[in-house]
C-alpha cells in the first residue's frame, strides 16, 4: 500500500478554485481542470513512501523493494511487478497496466463535442498515427494510446451534459418552428430518412468541411432559439444550451449540433455511464470520473484543440439512446458501488460515521482509495497501515489482500471487477 499524489491537468477550460477549494486549499493562479489519480503515461500519479504517511508492519524484502520502487510514479511502479501489483488476471487483461484512471473534473466552461473510440478502433488509430510519425504529444494527435475509453461520471454538484442523440422524431420537433434556414434544412434531411442514417447525415453536414454552415447561418439559429417563447418551445433546456454554447464558441456549428443531442442533468450523488462511440459534451458542474486507462478523445467542435471530424464521424454511434444512468448497489452498511458494464473499473462510495469500528471494504485487486472528506485509517491483510486525510489517496496492491477502514468521512474506492 502506498500513498499517491494526484497530477493536475491545467486545461484552459478548467476552474481555478473548485478542486483546490474542495480540499480546503487556496485558489491557484492557473486552471485546475482535472486531477488525475492513475498510471496513464500522460500524467501518472506520484508515488511515494514516508514514515508519516505509511507504516510498514514488517520490513521484509518485498516491502523494502516496493518502497524503493515506488519513489517515482505509479506507472513505473506497476511496471516493476505487474503480476504482484495487479494480480495475475488483471495483469493479463490489462496487458500489464492498471486498467482504470480516476479523475476529478471541474469545467469552468463547456467542454468539446467529443467521442471516445472502441478498443478495436483505438488500436487501429494508434497504429496508423504511429506509422504517420505523429508524436504522442503532438497537437494533431488523436490517439494517445491503444485503449478504449468508456467512462462513468459521478456528480458532486449539479452536473450538466449533452449525451447521445435524441430520437429522429424528437430532433425534428426541436428544429421545427425556429424559422432559421439551417434548422429547416437539418429537419428536412431527417424527415427524408427518419432513422440513425438520417441523423448521421444531418450531424455530419454540420461539421464536415464541404457542407459546414457559415457563421451567419449558425448565428441565425442561435437568435431563433433565444427568440422562441418558452411556452412554445419543445425543449427550453435545448434553447438555453444553444445560447450558452454560442457565448463561448460563436459561429461554431457544434452549437447547432447540440440540438440533436440529449440534455442531461445529474444531481449530487447521481452517476452516468458513457460508452465508446457516444457523442457527448460536459457543460458545467463538478464531479469525478472513472474510465478505462486512456486519453483518447476525438473532437468535432466547441474547442480550440485539434478537431478530427472525419475520424469522429467514423467512430460515432447515431442510434438514438437515452443516457445511461447507473444506480448504486448498497453492498454493505457503509459502501455503495456503481457497476458499469465494462471489465475495466467499478466505483464505490464509502461513508464512515463510527470512528471506533473497523469495517471491511468490499472489492479487491489493485485499487485506489481517495479521501473526499474527513479522515480514515486503512489496514490491509498484508499488515500495512495508512492514514488518509481529505484529498489524500492510497494505492493498494492486489496482494495487499482484504482491507479494513475506520474513521469519519467519505472515501471513494476505484477498483477492478
* Active site residues per annotation: 299
Name the helix (H) or strand (E) containing 415.
strand 403-415
Question: Residue 50, Cβ neighbours under 10 Å: how many?
Answer: 11
Instruction: Note whether 141 and 134 are within 8 A (CB).
Output: yes
Q: Which of 347, 326, 324 is nearest to 274 (CA)?
A: 324
Q: Annotated binding residue at 151?
A: yes
Beta strands in 353-402 (DSSP E): 359-360, 367-380, 384-389, 393-396
**96-111 as b/e: b if 16+ CB within 10 A:** ebbbbbbbbbbbbbbb
Cell numbers at 323, concatenated: 443516457
Helix, strand or coil, per DSSP, at residue 385: strand
Q: Annotated binding residue at 333?
A: no
Annotate 64-131 with DSSP letters as a single string: HHHHHHTSEEHHHHHHH-HHHHH-HHHHHHTTTS--EEEEEE-BSSPPPEEE---HHHHHHHHHHHHH
Residue with cell 454552415: 213
Residue with cell 448521421: 200
Instruction: Note whether 12 and 31 are within 8 A (CB).
Output: yes
Q: Please report the sign of the dihedral spanned by the C-alpha atoms of residue 379, residue 384, residue 389, residue 391.
A: negative
Q: Please report the sign of the dihedral spanned by the C-alpha atoms of residue 45, residue 51, residue 55, residue 61.
A: positive
What are the C-alpha distances in Å from 282 to residues 47, 186, 385?
30, 24, 38
Q: Annotated binding residue at 114?
A: yes
Residue with cell 475509453: 149
Exposed, middle or buried, 388 (CB in 10 Å: 0-12/13-18/19+)? buried
Q: What angle do CA 42, 48, 50 make, to 5 degrees?
A: 165
Q: Annotated binding residue at 404?
A: no
Mark the binding-site residues, compressed into ranges. 114, 116, 151, 280
Mark the binding-site residues for Zn(2+), compressed into ranges. 114, 116, 151, 280
Amino acid at each position: 500500500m502506498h500513498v499517491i499524489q494526484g497530477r493536475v491537468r491545467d486545461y484552459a477550460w478548467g476552474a481555478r478554485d473548485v478542486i483546490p477549494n474542495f480540499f480546503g486549499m487556496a485558489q491557484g493562479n492557473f486552471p485546475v481542470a482535472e486531477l488525475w489519480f492513475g498510471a496513464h503515461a500522460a500524467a501518472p500519479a506520484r508515488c511515494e513512501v514516508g514514515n508519516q504517511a505509511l507504516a510498514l508492519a514488517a520490513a521484509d524484502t518485498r516491502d523494502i523493494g516496493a518502497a524503493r520502487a515506488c519513489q517515482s510514479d505509479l506507472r513505473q511502479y506497476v511496471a516493476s511487478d505487474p503480476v504482484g501489483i495487479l494480480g495475475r488476471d488483471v495483469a493479463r487483461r490489462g496487458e500489464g497496466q492498471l486498467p482504470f484512471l480516476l479523475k476529478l473534473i471541474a469545467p469552468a466552461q463547456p467542454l468539446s463535442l467529443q467521442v471516445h473510440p472502441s478498443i478495436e478502433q483505438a488500436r487501429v488509430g494508434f497504429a496508423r498515427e504511429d506509422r504517420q510519425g505523429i508524436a504522442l504529444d503532438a497537437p494533431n494527435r488523436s490517439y494517445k494510446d491503444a485503449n478504449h475509453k468508456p467512462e462513468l461520471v459521478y456528480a458532486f454538484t449539479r452536473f450538466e451534459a449533452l449525451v447521445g442523440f435524441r430520437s429522429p422524431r424528437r430532433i425534428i420537433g426541436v428544429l421545427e418552428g425556429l424559422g432559421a434556414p439551417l434548422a429547416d434544412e437539418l429537419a428536412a434531411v431527417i424527415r427524408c430518412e427518419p432513422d440513425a442514417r438520417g441523423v448521421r447525415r444531418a450531424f455530419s453536414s454540420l461539421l464536415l468541411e464541404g457542407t459546414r454552415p457559415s457563421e451567419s447561418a449558425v448565428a441565425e439559429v442561435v437568435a431563433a432559439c433565444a427568440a422562441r417563447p418558452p411556452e412554445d418551445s419543445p425543449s427550453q433546456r435545448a434553447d438555453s444550451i444553444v445560447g450558452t454554447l454560442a457565448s463561448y464558441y460563436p459561429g461554431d456549428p457544434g452549437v447547432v449540433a447540440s440540438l440533436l443531442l440529449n440534455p442531461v442533468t445529474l444531481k449530487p450523488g447521481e452517476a452516468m455511464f458513457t460508452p465508446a462511440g457516444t457523442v457527448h459534451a460536459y457543460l458545467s458542474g463538478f464531479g469525478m470520473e472513472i474510465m478505462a486507462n486512456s486519453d483518447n478523445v476525438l473532437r468535432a467542435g466547441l474547442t480550440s484543440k485539434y478537431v478530427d471530424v472525419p475520424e469522429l464521424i467514423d467512430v460515432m454511434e447515431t442510434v438514438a439512446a437515452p443516457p445511461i444512468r447507473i444506480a448504486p448497489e448498497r453492498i454493505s452498511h457503509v459502501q455503495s458501488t456503481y457497476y458499469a458494464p465494462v471489465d475495466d473499473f467499478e466505483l464505490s462510495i464509502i461513508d464512515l460515521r463510527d470512528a471506533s469500528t473497523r469495517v471491511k471494504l468490499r472489492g479487491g485487486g489493485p485499487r485506489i482509495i481517495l479521501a473526499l472528506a474527513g479522515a480514515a485509517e486503512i489496514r490491509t491483510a498484508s499488515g500495512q497501515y495508512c492514514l488518509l486525510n481529505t484529498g489524500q489517496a492510497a494505492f493498494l496492491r492486489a496482494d495487499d489482500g482484504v482491507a479494513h477502514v475506520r474513521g469519519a468521512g467519505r472515501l471513494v474506492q476505484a477498483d477492478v471487477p
